[in-house]
Amino acid sequence: MTDRDTASFRMTRNEARVVIAALSDEEMTASGDRGMRIQNVQDHLAAEFDFDEHRGVEKGEMAAGDDTGWLDNDAIFGGNDPDDTERVELSRAEATAVTDALAAFELDEGHENAGTAENVRERIEDAFEGR
């Protein structure tokens, strides 16, 4: 197994936020290559989904741009719909760091997103199954 062994899978914006939160928890105790790998995955996801730290200063609107009175997801989320989906590619080593972090995240019953973490972890594991 090498770090170049990769797999890709779909991930929503909301799932990416959960993964970044799980990785942040894991990053506190990680060191060396693992710590760097965790930081790289966080940066990759933040850039892929255009999270605030990778976006320029932009002012949001409080209502829809038209006067119809109806708000759609673009008006509410400003193009940052939590259900927006991207294809994410991870190396096996990155995937291992992510699945370990998600497994630990799931064990903390205080996290309301434990189910999301489990779902993403299983999809990542399935993407690498048979490789």
What is the domain range of residue 83?
A: 6-128
Number of C-beta neighbours around residue 84 at 10 A: 16
Q: Which residues of 34-53 are buried (b: 16+ CB within 10 A; e: fewer)?
A: beebbeebbeebbebbebee
> Residue 57 domain-assigned?
yes
Per-residue pLDDT of the chain (131 residues; tens, 9 = 90+): 445 599 999 999 999 999 999 999 898 888 899 999 999 999 999 988 888 654 444 444 344 444 444 444 454 455 556 568 899 999 999 999 999 999 999 998 677 889 999 999 999 999 998 66
Count of the separate structural domains present in the chain: 1
Q: What is the CA radius of gyration of the chain?
A: 17
Q: Is residue 1 part of a domain?
A: no
